[in-house]
Structure 1
Amino acid sequence: MRGMRVPDWVQDTRISYDTVAVSYADMLRDALAGEPFQRGILGLFAEVLRARPAGPVADVGCGPGRISGYLREQGLDVFGIDLSPGMVEVARREHPGIRFDEGSMTALDVADGSLAGVLAWFSLIHVPDDEVPGVLAEFRRVLRPGGALLVGFHAGDGSKLKSEGYGGHPMNVYVHRRPAQRVSGWLREAGFTVEAELLHRPEPNVEGAFVFANR
């Protein structure tokens, strides 16, 4: 993005997650231990990739690296990318055996067709609707033919400004909820084959959606 104006939502997301990086990591470090459905979804993603020719897997929007660490335990050659330098710093400290890079999903510094898999685990939730197709095109560009993509996001419809979070720290990001059908439609338009849509309801009025797709 050098030489180009960085969109306001990118700047706001970077600053917000820099602000909450340490508290976010502390609050969610062991969250997967109490989430059997999420572990199962990630395990299915790992199983799909283990059945295909080996290759690197990018955890895009990796935050403090907790999901990258879990996928490494599942036998994947995973590395993380995050917009927030603060998050990358925490991830490198907590998972020293995994590579973490600073970068934006709008312009990945990854070679064409070089990845076996891409994970976007609740990292598209701050991307405006009109920017999502470009992000999905980036995911397709970096995946090799037959590569696997898993997208996790907040299900529903509508957007809400998040002005505070993770221990009361100030934030300035919009959280976008989307029906799984809409995300699947965007994926098909980007050239992906959608294999599955899953909906998880861990508590009333809270829904997570997960879409598996292939390049």
Structure 2
Amino acid sequence: MDWLDDTRDSYDTVAVSYADLLRDSLAREPFQLGLLALFAEMVRGAGVGPVADVGCGPGRLTGHLHRLGFDAFGVDLSPAMTDVARRDHPGLRFEVGTMTKLDLDDASLTGLLSWFSLIHIPDDEVPTVFAEFHRVLAPGGALMLGFHAGDEIKHKTEGYGGHPMNVYVHRRRAAPVVAWLEAAGFTVEAVMTAGPEPGAVFLFAYR
């Protein structure tokens, strides 16, 4: 699929700059820390098991989940991002892979985080991704999604240090994403928004 190749190549190009720009950003985002703490409580309630950070980029949230006490690992489409994650978080596991076909066993996860990693997935591929999320989560497993709110699709040709990119950024409203999740078999527990319009949406669900 061309969009997968374009996304992989784009993030390979910006990987080092992206990591440098965002390395310490979580410490300055108390709202995001609170959301991740809520996700952590959902995972703890679901039982003991691995937690996947899917679309992990340079691994900053994988590292945060590890510090919270979870057996966390990261999956990312970009080999360069995965290399940076391994460099910045030695001892943690990072794998190259696509969320459209995860190389994970059925019901093998207690939690799955997708933090602004759905933004490059076309609408017609989102149900496939959510079916994969449902497949790899154990019954009762917790899911958290974060994505940009809105209705537009923007072609991004430059970013993160001025490097060239060729990706489409999909902004979405909560309602269709909730419908896709429910069709995949999830129970949506909460929908939260952040920032002024269009802002961001955060969804919490159980398998």
Q: How many Å separate the matches in 2 of 1:75 and 1:51?
A: 14
Runs of 5+ consecutive residues of structure 2 not aligned to the other structure? none
1:102 maps to amino acid? V
Q: How many Å separate the matches in 2 of 1:175 and 1:109?
A: 25
The yes-or-no answer on 1:214 pairing with 2:206 is yes
TM-score, normalising length from structure 2? 0.98
2:86 maps to amino acid? R
Q: How many Å separate the matches in 2 of 1:166 and 1:178?
A: 22
The yes-or-no answer on 1:113 pairing with 2:101 is no
Task: Report Cα offsets for 1:110-152 as digits up to 9, x if no partner.
Answer: 0001110111000000000000000000000000100110010
Task: Report Cα offsets for 1:70-121 as digits up to 9, x if no partner.
Answer: 1111111110000000000000000012100000001000000111011100
1:9 corresponds in structure 2 to 3
The yes-or-no answer on 1:91 pairing with 2:79 is no
Q: How many Å separate the matches in 1 of 2:173 and 2:16?
A: 31
2:206 maps to amino acid? N
C-alpha spacing 1:141/1:165, structure 2 compared with 1 (3 Å): same
Runs of 5+ consecutive residues of structure 1 not aligned to the other structure? 1-6
2:171 to 153, 156, 177: 177
Give how far 1:205 is off. Answer: 4.2
Moved over 3 A (4+): none
Matched residues, percent identical?
A: 66
1:55 maps to amino acid? G
Q: How many Å separate the matches in 2 of 1:61 and 1:53?
A: 23
1:34 corresponds in structure 2 to 28
Aligned-residue Cα RMSD (Å) equals 0.8
Aligned residues: 207
Give how far 1:33 is off. Answer: 1.0
Q: Helix, strand or coil: the match of 1:63?
A: coil
The yes-or-no answer on 1:81 pairing with 2:102 is no
Q: How many Å separate the matches in 2 of 1:131 and 1:52?
A: 28
Q: Helix, strand or coil: the match of 1:71?
A: helix
1:71 corresponds in structure 2 to 65
